[in-house]
Amino acid sequence: MTAHTTGTAARTADADTAAHTYDVVVIGAGPVGENVADRVVHGGLSVAVVERELVGGECSYWACMPTKALLRSAAALRAARRVPGAREAVTGDLDVTAVLRRRDSVASHWKDDGQAAWLDSVGIALYRGQGRITAERRVEVTDEAGSVTSLAARHAVVIATGTSALLPDIPGLRETVPWTSREAAAATAVPGRLAVIGGGVVASEMATAYTALGSSVTVLARDGVLPHAEPFAGERVTAALREAGASVRPGAQTEAVKRDGDGTVHITLTTGEHIEADEILVATGRTPNTRDIGLDTLGLTPGSWLTVDDTLRVLTDNGTPPAGGWLYAAGDVNHRALLTHQGKYQARAVGDVIVARATGEPVDDSPWGRHTATADERAVPQVVFTEPEIASVGLTAAAAQAAGLHTRVIDYDLGTIAGSALHTDGYQGHARMIIDEDRHTIIGFTLAGPDTAELLHAATIAIVGEIPLNRLWHAVPAFPTISEIWLRLLETYGH
Ligand SMILES: Cc1cc2nc3c(=O)[nH]c(=O)nc-3n(C[C@H](O)[C@H](O)[C@H](O)COP(=O)(O)OP(=O)(O)OC[C@H]3O[C@@H](n4cnc5c(N)ncnc54)[C@H](O)[C@@H]3O)c2cc1C
Ligand SMILES: NC(=O)c1ccc[n+]([C@@H]2O[C@H](COP(=O)([O-])OP(=O)(O)OC[C@H]3O[C@@H](n4cnc5c(N)ncnc54)[C@H](O)[C@@H]3O)[C@@H](O)[C@H]2O)c1
């Protein structure tokens, strides 16, 4: 038995003869796994996490953080250029080397010493290697050298293994060794010409970033840009990308891809059209990291998304948890909402419910109860850091209609608010509020415009709190802030 642990926490766990034993074992130390472990420790239980790459996961090193760093400098520059007085002080162009250097720092130079030290400081044991479930409450960890350590969980095992980029079955694509979100986030040089397959969140953000960094970007957006958002969101991002010099091709479907000896990528569309690029980014969604974690031992299908109940216990194909209810799945891997903040919210619920079940405390799995993640169904906030920013929460008008709800849609031009005009000369933006007419509450909210990200949380609170509109009327936005959009939307509704 080889213990590839770090830290004092590992040494304080009981070691029995068969395995290192903890109350809880978490597979995957991304933001979600880390938060489950933290919550479990705060509840007084012992916990080990298993990580095969870097503690902090995709978000810290190849997703949220580095991509936002790639976008931020250009956004700050755009903002300054739009305000007279500041504009005149901007005398140079974006410093690409400085942007990449800052990104490196934001990604902690792809080292996890800081996060590993944090785990140790709060008493979480870390085992490095690939985690696999071998039996009920048993996990084996295989490290890089092939040594195997057996872990046993007294109460629960949590799968928080996240996702990887999905490569669609396009002839020649794999052989070109395309960029995925990882290479786009961690690039050390900016390609002259970048083709992007996809029109979702990753494609839109990376097209925005690389256009600003100097690439000539072509977006092959088969299903349009941000197809799941309100239509005005995709329209505005498309217009801004085009204005910045990118080519955006809604409806363009890739038939085949190949890379030349000199590195040039040749893309053939289903129309027969031919596009050349120096690099190609595939941003067509995610696939769960469940292929090699022992799902077969539980009668589940390796490589599948994990279905969970209200307290995030994994459900087998017959809709029940494995005997004993010891297996949970949180974060991207359960496919409820592929966002860090939502996964961390699930992590808090999972950590707390495991502690409650272990200590005999009552479990509150009612809607909005402490041990459920109800907001996943009703109020998932998301900010897409494009130009303009798209900030949304809850349902779109189309989704509300599809759900058969009796709704009213209120639109307002964000550019006409006094706060917007002060923020930026010629501020352009749009707001949409979806009202449930039977309950007189907000069920959806979308903003498109510069710096709308920080306005979103008010809408999330209104939706989660189910605040009646006639009470919301008394939440007076300060003048002259962009938040006065709330007043204008309520007035338009009829207050
Ligand atoms: C380009 C990009 C940008 C994004 N930007 C944002 C954003 O701005 N805001 C936002 O909220 N979300 C964003 N997301 C989504 C966000 O990254 C994910 O929702 C989040 O990382 C999910 O966290 P997780 O812990 O579930 O999984 P992950 O972060 O994927 O972590 C899972 C961890 O498990 C480890 N692991 C997997 N299998 C095993 C195994 N068998 N044994 C041991 N370890 C294993 C992995 O190495 C990894 O460290 C972005 C995603 C992408 C791709
Ligand atoms: N700022 C943020 O919050 C942020 C940023 C990036 C990613 N994320 C998260 O990461 C997840 C993954 O993002 P993503 O952009 O990879 O996925 P996505 O699901 O948002 O978009 C994938 C897009 O690819 C298109 N597509 C699928 N197959 C295709 C094919 N064969 N050819 C052409 N187009 C195809 C789809 O129409 C879709 O628009 C998202 O769910 C998102 O929540 C969040």
Determine the distance separating the centroid of ligand 2 and the alpha carbon of 199, expressed in angstroms. Answer: 7
Q: At what angle do helices 31-42 and 113-121 cross, to 10 degrees?
A: 20
What are 391's strand-pairing partners?
A: 383, 447
Give 366: exposed, middle or buried? Use CB within 10 Å, 0-12, 13-18, 19+.
exposed
Q: Answer whether the bond into residue 388 is a cis peptide, omega within 30°.
A: yes
Determine the distance separating the centroid of ligand 2 and the alpha carbon of 337, expressed in angstroms. Answer: 12
Q: Which two tokens stand for residue 95?
A: 């410093």
205 lines ligand 2 (CB under 6 A): yes
Q: How far apart are CA 413 and CA 431, in angstroms?
A: 6
Q: Whose CA is nearest to atom 1 of ligand 2?
A: 384
Q: Which two tokens stand for residue 85?
A: 């007085």
Say what the pLDDT of residue 495 is. 78
Q: Which two tokens stand for residue 272?
A: 């027969």
Q: Whose CA is nearest to atom 52 of ligand 1?
A: 63
Residues with CB under 6 A from ligand 1: 27-33, 50-53, 57-59, 63-64, 67-68, 130-131, 160-163, 181, 185, 202, 289, 293, 331-333, 338-341, 343
Q: How far apart are CA 12 and CA 225, in angstroms?
A: 51
Ligand sitting nearest the alpha carbon of 203: 2
Cα–Cα–Cα angle for 282, 284, 287, rounded to 5 degrees: 105
Q: Whose CA is nearest to atom 49 of ligand 1?
A: 57
Provide the Cα torsion 305, 310, 313, 319; round to 10°: -70
Q: Residue 276 corresponds to which amino acid?
A: E
Q: Can you say which residues are annotated as belonging to the binding site for FAD?
A: 68, 131, 332
Determine the distance separating the centroid of ligand 2 and the alpha carbon of 200, expressed in angstroms. Answer: 4
Cα dihedral sign, 89-95-99-101:
negative
Q: Answer whether the bond into residue 480 is a cis peptide, omega within 30°.
A: yes
Q: Going from the N-terminus, what domains does the chain have, and what CATH number goes with each? A: 5-59+108-164+288-375 (3.50.50.60), 174-284 (3.50.50.60), 388-493 (3.30.390.30)
Ligand sitting nearest the alpha carbon of 64: 1
Q: Are 313 and 321 in contact (CB under 8 A)?
A: yes
ipTM of the complex: 0.98
Q: Residue 227 corresponds to which amino acid?
A: P
Say what the pLDDT of residue 19 is. 72
- The closest-lying atom of ligand 1 relative to the alpha carbon of residue 184 is 1
Q: Are 384 and 226 in contact (CB under 8 A)?
A: yes
Say what the pLDDT of residue 318 is. 87
Say what the pLDDT of residue 2 is. 36
CA distances from 339 to 31, 287, 342, 380, 389 (A): 10, 14, 5, 9, 17
36 lines ligand 2 (CB under 6 A): no
**Which residue in the block uniquely carries the two structure tokens 């809604």?**
250
Q: How far apart are CA 357 and CA 439, in angstroms?
A: 35
Q: Secondary structure of the chain: what % helix, strand, coil (to 5)?
A: 35, 25, 40
265 lines ligand 2 (CB under 6 A): no
209 lines ligand 2 (CB under 6 A): no
Q: Whose CA is nearest to atom 28 of ligand 2?
A: 284
Q: Whose CA is nearest to atom 31 of ligand 2?
A: 168
225 lines ligand 2 (CB under 6 A): no
Q: How far apart are CA 230 and CA 220, in angstroms?
A: 20
Q: 201 CB contacts (<8 Å, ≥6 apart)?
A: 226, 382, 384
Nearest to 446 by CA among 375, 376, 381, 378: 381
Determine the distance separating the centroid of ligand 1 and the alpha carbon of 66, expressed in angstroms. Answer: 13
Determine the distance separating the centroid of ligand 2 and the alpha carbon of 201, expressed in angstroms. Answer: 5
Nearest to 35 by CA among 354, 291, 258: 354
Stated as kind and residue range, the H or E segment containing 104 is helix 96-106
Q: Are 464 and 451 in contact (CB under 8 A)?
A: no
280 lines ligand 2 (CB under 6 A): no
What is 79-93 written as a DSSP string?
Answer: HHHTSTTTGGG--S-
Q: How far apart are CA 87 and CA 339, in angstroms?
A: 35
CA distances from 243 to 95, 208, 226, 304, 429 (A): 21, 11, 18, 40, 16
**Which residue in the block uniquely carries the two structure tokens 């989660």?**
464
Q: Are 424 and 432 in contact (CB under 8 A)?
A: no
Say what the pLDDT of residue 18 is. 55
Q: How far apart are CA 488 and CA 33, in angstroms?
A: 42
Q: How far apart are CA 204 and CA 229, in angstroms?
A: 12
- The closest-lying atom of ligand 2 relative to the alpha carbon of residue 223 is 37
Q: Whose CA is nearest to atom 21 of ligand 1?
A: 59
Q: How far apart are CA 5 and CA 127, in angstroms?
A: 5
Q: Whose CA is nearest to atom 38 of ligand 2?
A: 200
- Residue by residue, pLDDT tens for the chain (495 residues) are 333 455 444 434 444 445 799 999 999 999 999 999 999 999 999 999 999 999 999 999 999 999 999 999 999 999 999 999 999 999 999 999 999 999 999 999 999 999 999 999 999 999 999 999 999 999 999 999 999 999 999 999 999 999 999 999 999 999 999 999 999 999 999 999 999 999 999 999 999 999 999 999 999 999 999 999 999 999 999 999 999 999 999 999 999 999 999 999 999 999 999 999 999 999 999 999 999 999 999 999 999 999 999 999 999 988 999 888 999 999 999 999 999 999 999 999 999 999 999 999 999 999 999 999 999 999 999 999 999 999 999 999 999 999 999 999 999 999 999 999 999 999 999 999 999 999 999 999 999 999 999 999 999 999 999 999 999 999 999 999 999 999 999 999 997
